[in-house]
Amino acid sequence: MTSSTKSLRTCAKGHKYYKSSDCPTCPICEKELKPATGFLSILSAPARRALENNGITSLQQLSTYSENEILEFHGMGPGSLPKLRTALKEKGLFFKAK
């Protein structure tokens, strides 16, 4: 079994954290950025960033994309789709048809 070596890092805000991957994302900053409410609050940080980085911050904007288009975003995985479908359905919205 291999063990991953974690290195101490410091983000631009001065937070110190350990990471074993090359990912530059500070977990402390991510917790500060996570919305308390809304559909983005139910997603993992990578999935949330995937939508935000593509300008999707509302369910109305999300409904203009198909599921396949959303899955093409870096950081978005199939595990997030059920949560997004439910959030859309609660507002009477759906993903765009293929």
**Residue 39, φ and ψ in degrees, nearest 5:** -65, -25
Predicted structure pTM score: 0.73
Q: What whole-number distance in Å separates Cα of residue 92 and Cα of residue 66?
A: 16
pLDDT in tens, 12-65: 889 898 888 887 787 877 777 777 779 999 999 899 999 999 999 999 999 999
Residues near 94 by Cβ (< 8 Å), separated by ≥ 6?
Answer: 63, 85, 88
Instruction: For the chain, list the domains and their CATH numbers.
Output: 7-36 (no CATH), 37-98 (1.10.150.20)
Confirm if 39 and 87 have CB atoms less than 8 A apart.
yes
What number of helices (H) and strands (E) belong to the chain? 5, 2
